[in-house]
Amino acid sequence: MLEVLKKELNMFFSSLTAYIVIGVFLIVMGLFMWVFPDYSVLEYCYASMEQLFNMAPWIFVFLIPAITMRSLAEEKQTGTIEFLITKPISLFKIISGKYLAAVLLVIFALIPTLLYYYTVYELGSPRGNLDTGAVWGSYLGLVLLGAAYASVGLFASSLTNNQIVAFMLAAFLCFFFHWGFFYLSKLPFFLGSSDDFLQMLGIDYHYNSISRGLVDSRDIIYFISFITLFLGLTFIRLRERD
């Protein structure tokens, strides 16, 4: 698994992929945090990082599929997937290595945003007038969200040998599983408990729950189950090639 992980990270950082993904994320988030007047923290009357945690899921919908689209699709397009599978390494380790590389890239993109936290912390009046618990809960939520999106992206990449198709499919699935159940629950024939149940199936419900700063084991279990499901589907998809 470590060999695959190192190979994937080397591939990301030896090309422009990692730098473009991290750069675009930081530039867009910086614009929303400090420049755009409707979102800028400088226009708020209180210290907050809501802009980062509200906008990041939307940006992740496109950036994470861009990271994962080549993971398996390129291997299938070039025919190296058969060579990789026949090597003395289990299919589980191949998938785990590629998946962890994508998750690490997401974490690398989030680390520089800690500067935003420090800046907002210092700008608070009084200094440090910031809900630190909610901030760290939101960061945990973003890491779990990125991990969930990465599992979806890897699965989408296993379905096709076309990277563009893999990107579009992953972006659609990420959007659907994040917000789709919420919008479905608002349809007129879903009322009462069925409305609540549908919302609980979506990522948005559990992400918002963690972002409040109260980490509930049910939310953690949801994300772990979600990630396991899509990694399992990826495993089944690749095993069918044997």
Q: Give the pLDDT confidence score for residue 17 in this predicted structure.
A: 74
DSSP 111: G
- Give exposure, 32-56, as e/b (b: 16+ Cβ within 10 Å): bbeeeeebebeeeeebbbbbbbebb
Tell me, rounded to whole angstroms, the distance of Cα 135 from its chain centroid.
17
The whole-angstrom separation of Cα 205 and Cα 141 is 11
**Helix (H) or strand (E) run with residue 189 in it:** none
pLDDT at 169: 95
Amino acid 147: pLDDT: 95
* pLDDT, position 86: 66
- Token pair for 84: 């990789």
- On the CB side of 141, CA atoms within 13 Å amount to 30
* pLDDT value of residue 148: 96
For 124-144, the DSSP string reads SSSTT-S-HHHHHHHHHHHHH
Return the pLDDT at 195: 66
The values of phi and psi at residue 152, to 5°, are: -65, -45
Chunked mean pLDDT (size 10), the chain, 242 residues: 78 79 86 75 69 87 90 75 68 88 91 85 68 83 94 92 91 92 71 68 89 82 95 88 54
CA distance 223 to 226: 5
Neighbours of 214 (CB within 10 A): 11
User: For residue 211, what are the CA distances in angstroms to 36, 111, 134, 181, 202?
Assistant: 23, 17, 6, 19, 15
Read off the pTM. 0.89
